[in-house]
A and B are shown apart, each in its own frame.
Chain A
Amino acid sequence: METGHETLPVTPSQTVGPFFGYALPYDDGPRVAPQWHPDAITLRGTVLDGAGDPLPDAILEIWQADADGTVPSGEGGLLRAGHGFSGFGRCPTDSAGRYWFSTVKPGPVGGAAPYIAVLVFARGLLKPVATRLYFPEETEANAADPVLSAVDAERRGTLVAQRENDGGYRFDIRLQGDGETVFFAS
């Protein structure tokens, strides 16, 4: 910390609990880009616990650049204006632990490989877990990405989505145990 700046003690995190379902989700939450957008892709996945059971009471948030690698800086996190691309999405898991987003594949920002920042909140998580979704076809860019390549090689695959037949991507999140997703400290 630089000198001359007062440092205030930080407010601690607490779990989102199980009862956020009537408060945090909103209609356009999973629609980061409208599904009729010519470049729209669908992300899907399941959130699983250490016993391999799905979490019916988790909520995910994503944040990403647009297809050109531009980070959105205008308003529109909650209300999507027609053609608007918000860069931000929120989706609760369903009773089978599944989530989805309609978005576009982000372009690379700076020297990094394209990726989407992902946060998961849930009952039983006293603070969110933070991860990144990378794209499987970006072999060269992924190999050069400073964050991805700093992760243990045998766990790196947990950060790379799988391509699906409809052109979308699958990204399952395992909170604990076999195949545990890499989560980042902040």
Chain B
Amino acid sequence: MATDPHPPYLSPGYKSTALRAPARPLPMPKLGPDAIELTGPVFGHQELGALDHDLTRQHAGEPMGERIIVTGRVLDSRGRPVRGALVEVWQTNAAGRYVHLVDQHPAPLDPNFTGAGRCLTDGEGRYRFVTIKPGAYPWRNHHNAWRPAHIHFSVFGTAFTQRLVTQMYFPGDPLFAHDPIFQSIPDERARERLVARFDLDTTVPEWALGYQWDIVLDATPMEA
């Protein structure tokens, strides 16, 4: 069995974990085959908008920034594609600012960019978003704290136990070494799995840079 790829709840460098990490040991339930956690909600194409996957076309004009394509496959731990999986994303604009009201970073908002998208994976488990490259932004975790540019991802598997919320990063970011959220993952190779790969074959000439990033969900308790 590989080491746990996930960060621990308590990660002192990330200050907000101090009062939010459970302190008691977590029991491992013996789930029977009927356990509801071994199934999950199903989503249909008619529940999504036609432009939900293209964050550059949700307003009257085009957003500022570097246009990119982010695509990859959602797989289970045996490498089987997860088809029809709901993938949701959210991110800052090119200047590092979220539309969210609580974001106080004094960087400009972009009237042509909201920064939220969603799609369903296809028959090969593939998702695809068109967006702009997000910016780094400051946060108040410690002096001079900056988050590396990232896209937040939320993914449903076939089981509720596979539910994954994570963040995708961009290759070569100098902020990795200084970011307690990225560094909360103990295993370096596991951290590297959150970094997308620039891909010339995904890149569209004269139009957008392409990044590939596959997502592998946990084994369900029945498989493990």
Chain A interface (Cβ within 8 Å of chain B)? 1, 5-24, 49-51, 53, 55, 57, 61, 63-65, 71-79, 86-88, 109-112, 115, 117, 119, 121-130, 146-147, 150-151, 155, 175-177, 180-186
Q: From the candidates A65, A74, A126, name the one contacting B8 in the complex (CB within 8 A).
A: A126
- Chain A positions within 8 Å of B211 at CB level: none
Give how many B residues have a beta carbon under 8 Å from the other chain's beta carbons: 84
Known contacts A49-B19, A50-B23; A11/B28 CB under 8 A: no
- Chain A positions within 8 Å of B86 at CB level: 77-78
- Chain B positions within 8 Å of A110 at CB level: 32-35
Q: Do B48 and A16 touch (CB < 8 A)?
A: no
- Chain B positions within 8 Å of A14 at CB level: 7, 152, 165-167, 181-182, 184, 194
Q: Do A63 and B34 touch (CB < 8 A)?
A: no
- Chain A positions within 8 Å of B31 at CB level: 147
Q: Do B46 and A183 touch (CB < 8 A)?
A: no
Main SS class of interface, B = loop
- Chain A positions within 8 Å of B21 at CB level: 124-125, 175-176
Q: From the candidates A18, A24, A78, name the one contacting B154 in the complex (CB within 8 A).
A: A24
Q: Do A12 and B27 touch (CB < 8 A)?
A: no
- Chain B positions within 8 Å of A61 at CB level: 163
What is the chain B residue whose CB lies nearest that of A64?
A: B36
Q: What distance in Å separates the Cβ of A52 from its nearest Cβ neighbour in chain B?
A: 9
Q: Do B34 and A126 touch (CB < 8 A)?
A: no
What is the chain B residue whose CB lies nearest that of A18?
A: B102
B65 within 8 A of A: no
- Chain B positions within 8 Å of A175 at CB level: 19-22
Q: Do B88 and A23 touch (CB < 8 A)?
A: yes
A-B contact pairs, 25 of them (CB 8 A): A8-B79, A9-B2, A9-B5, A10-B218, A12-B166, A12-B190, A13-B165, A15-B165, A16-B154, A19-B152, A20-B100, A77-B156, A79-B44, A109-B34, A112-B35, A123-B20, A125-B21, A127-B9, A128-B165, A129-B22, A130-B37, A150-B30, A176-B20, A184-B27, A185-B26
Known contacts A5-B78, A14-B166, A177-B23; A23/B116 CB under 8 A: yes
Q: Do B102 and A7 touch (CB < 8 A)?
A: no
Q: Do B17 and A126 touch (CB < 8 A)?
A: yes
Q: Do A11 and B166 touch (CB < 8 A)?
A: yes
- Chain A positions within 8 Å of B217 at CB level: 10-11
- Chain B positions within 8 Å of A23 at CB level: 88-90, 115-116, 152
Q: Do B99 and A124 touch (CB < 8 A)?
A: no
Q: From the candidates A71, A119, A127, A155, name the one contacting B36 in the complex (CB within 8 A).
A: A71
Q: From the candidates B41, B78, B99, name the one contacting A22 in the complex (CB within 8 A).
A: B99
B221 within 8 A of A: yes
